[in-house]
Structures are given as C-alpha cells and as structure tokens.
Amino acid sequence: MDYKKSNAPHNTITRDMSELDAKVGNVYETVAIIAKRANQISSDLKKELDSKLQDFASPQDTIDEVFENKEQIEISRSYEMLPKPTLIATQEFIDDELIIRNSSIDRERSF
C-alpha cells in the first residue's frame, strides 16, 4: 500500500471509542487490531526507508567522514511528513479496509 496517498490525518484526533468498538464488540480487541496493523505499517515503512537510504551508504564512511546529501535529507523529510503508523492503522480500521482473521474461532471478518 502506498502510505503517501493515505487519507489519514497528520495530527492526533480524539475518537469516540464506542464507535470504534462497535465493529468488534470489545474495546481491547479493537485496540489490539489497530496496534498490530500499526506495527505492520511501521515495519513496512522502515524497510522501505532503509532500502532507499541504502543507495547513499558508503562502506568507507566513518564518524569523521559523514557528509550531508541533499537527496538523502529530502527522502528522510518525506518520511517524517507521513502520518504516524497508528493514525494510518486507525483510519484503515474506520474505513473498513482491514481483514481480521481469528484462528481460535476459525472465522474471517472484514472491518
């Protein structure tokens, strides 16, 4: 998924938990679902950023020889401007874009 095109807010918004847990029926399960998805998003973003910054890495860099690269700074800034993974995950949950599988019940629900 392209997180740069996400419609998630960039700032924290107060949410009504009774609306969020209405889909699942349990506040704790709702928070666990959003947290798990936020961890997945964070991992994806970290891998993507690391792969882009790997192009700028030099095997001969030492602490004294580190130099600033404008392209590297721009890439880092673009990732800093993205909404936080928890905000993206919450928006995905609200927009019913998540599929939740519960192996203990052997059912699949789409939220």
pTM of the predicted model as reported, rounded to 2 decimal places:
0.76
Residue 55 has a pLDDT of: 77
Is residue 32 over pLDDT 60? yes
User: What percent of the chain stands above pLDDT 90?
Assistant: 26
CA distance 79 to 99: 26
CA 10/CA 30 separation, integer angstroms: 21
Q: How far apart are CA 65 and CA 67, in angstroms?
A: 6
